[in-house]
Each structure stands twice: as C-alpha cells, then as structure tokens.
Amino acid sequence: MVCWRVLISGRVQGVGYRYSTRENAIALGVVGWVRNVPNGQVEALLEGESEQVNSLVKWCHSGPPAAKVTAVETHVETQAQALERFETFEIRR
C-alpha cells in the first residue's frame, strides 16, 4: 500500500476534474479524496496498491478532456501522516 498527496495545477477547476478523478479512482480501486484548493489547484490524497496509484497519478497529468494540466506535484505520505483509513474515494469541499 502507498499513500500519495497530489497537487494538480492549470485549468483544473470547473472542468469536471474532481468528478473524473473519483470515477478513475473507483475504477482502479484507489481510495482517498479529491478537493478544489482556493488558489485554483486540485488536491488529492490517493491510497492503494502502488500500480493503481501510479496509474491514477499518470492520468492526473492529463485529466478530463476540458482540463489543461500544467503541473502535477506528488508527495509520498506515510500511513501515520495520512492519519485516515479510507474505505472509498470521496469528493471533499
């Protein structure tokens, strides 16, 4: 199991990015959350098997069709840092 915090920059709000991320996460078996950040970024916490999380992070570099991603930052989190155990993938406000 791995846990990554991801920050996505570009035109990623108002284009269905969070909803598409959730759909892809569920399809891959990744749990965690995604939310808009006030500065215009999208932030996600992704937890799952390494291969599935890597696949979702790769998808984050393009996002849904209306998005224009300019940068994706990833930070590895330890389970202790995440402090949460997820059962599903949710969209946070």
Q: Could you give the residue numbers annotated as active site?
A: 18, 36
Query: What's the Cα-to-Cα distance from 58 to each of 6, 30, 81, rounded to whole Å?
Result: 11, 13, 23
* Contact between 67 and 48 (Cβ < 8 Å): no
φ and ψ at 44, to 5 degrees?
A: -140, 150
